Amino acid sequence: MLYHLFEYLSERYDFVGDNLYQFTTFRAGVGIVLSLIISMVFGGKIINALHRLQVGETVRDLGLAGQKQKQGTPTMGGIIIIMAILIPCLLVSRLDNVYIQLMLFTTLLMAAIGFLDDYIKVFRKNKKGLHGRFKVMGQIVLGLVVALTMLYHNDIVVRMDIADAQAEGFNITETVPVKMEDGTTKDYAYVKTTLTNVPFLKQNEFDYADIIGFFSDNANSLVWIIFMPFIIFLVTAVSNAANLTDGLDGLATGVSGIIGGTLIVLAYVSGNTVFSEYLNILYLPGTSELVVFAACFIGACLGFLWYNAYPAQVFMGDTGSLTLGGIIAVLAILIRKELLIPILCGIFVAENLSVILQVSYFKYTKRKYGEGRRIFKMSPLHHHYQKLGMPEVKIVTRFWIVAILLAVVTILTLKLR
């Protein structure tokens, strides 16, 4: 909003620093500061309002240390995160950018699903909340919108050498002249493609259409058969995994902030001609604007952590956790780094796998031996360590450390091939 206002004013008036708003890094800095301010100024007011509405967490007795003190702590605090993302993003980002539009849609849709789930739990006194099928339907809708937009929107393209684009038979939407460092001009092609970056491989590009190419000559027109289900799977898996991770004070918030910090680096290099060429990754025109959104996301996580760190004054609820997971998944998909999700979101993956393994093994042993047995003392994984007697703060801190290590490995994949 402010971007477009300053753009309008700079065309008519001259004032000091009138072009500063054009720099993505400047707007990202403003975005993260605004997010922090909004979180910390309005967070306390929202928590007090939740107290007045008696929006308290009902904690089941699972025999875990510190459970009693969590009883009655306000939930639905994800509202703070949503505000701290949306308001700064609307103010400092380019609202005509398709990537920003997709991220705003993602935030609003996942926030609505999470809010409805929390509302049913708190105000309707139904502990099960929104039925699982409706959550999955919402996640499927989000995956479909993201996949279809990437497949068919004219602004979502990859810049390639014209000769390479023609040799591969890609759909060239336009050609653009680019001034090189030596002063010469070279023409590049903007192509519609489902290319993505693959970690650790020398030729680190993979096209989903190649899978269809094994079975049909019309790979480009049929690629949606593979691409759309995969995107839906990623959105659903990461969103639900973030929800499972939200079980200890500051755990999901801190891990999400670390992941957001990594995504801001990946978005910056993907939208920068110099860095993308140096790192030999796909240059994605327009994705530099995602740096602004990612900055707002990080600011919101840090601001919420102010209240959510142990001992938590508020829980994010599904309003926050489903939204954080959805945002992370869609951000990674849009910058075509979705194949890095198992590494980058390793904490989420471990939490999700612990539940899957626990349930599967319990059912298997119950059929075979007549009684269910467990791999972990309790799932998700963070509860296993609680059962072992490890203090909550130590568990959260160690998970953060592992998340930082995974973030470093993720960034190193840009060069390790």
Largest CA distance in the chain: 80
pLDDT in tens, the chain (417 residues): 666 676 666 667 766 556 777 889 999 999 999 999 999 999 999 999 988 887 766 655 566 665 666 777 888 999 999 999 999 999 999 999 999 999 999 999 999 999 999 999 888 878 788 888 999 999 999 999 999 999 999 999 999 888 878 877 788 888 888 777 667 787 888 999 999 999 888 778 888 988 887 777 677 778 899 999 999 999 999 999 999 999 899 999 999 999 999 999 999 999 998 899 888 899 999 999 999 999 999 999 999 999 999 999 999 999 999 999 999 999 999 999 999 999 999 999 999 999 999 999 999 999 988 888 999 999 999 999 999 999 999 999 999 999 999 999 999 998 887
Q: Residues 359, 154: contact at Cβ < 8 Å?
A: no
pLDDT digits (tens, 9 = 90+) for 78-130: 999 999 999 999 999 999 999 999 999 999 999 999 999 999 988 887 878 88
Chain-centre distance of CA 102, in angstroms?
12
Phi/psi of residue 304, each to 5°? -70, -35
d(CA 285, CA 99): 10
DSSP string, 81-110: HHHHHHHHHHHHS-TT-HHHHHHHHHHHHH
Extract the runs of DSSP E, i.e. beta strands, from 231-343: none
Phi/psi of residue 178, each to 5°? -125, 130
- Predicted local distance difference test score (pLDDT) of residue 214: 73
- Predicted local distance difference test score (pLDDT) of residue 125: 79
- Predicted local distance difference test score (pLDDT) of residue 236: 96
Of the candidates 74, 113, 122, the residue with the CA atom closest to the CA atom of residue 312: 74
- Predicted local distance difference test score (pLDDT) of residue 62: 62
* Global pTM value: 0.93
Cross-strand pairs, 206: 196
The full set of domain ranges for the chain reads: 2-62+69-154+199-412, 158-192
Of the candidates 322, 320, 330, the residue with the CA atom closest to the CA atom of residue 294: 330
- Reading the block at residue 343, the tokens are 């590494």
- Predicted local distance difference test score (pLDDT) of residue 168: 75
d(CA 281, CA 408): 18
pLDDT digits (tens, 9 = 90+) for 223-252: 899 999 999 999 999 999 999 999 899 999
- Predicted local distance difference test score (pLDDT) of residue 56: 66
d(CA 396, CA 325): 18
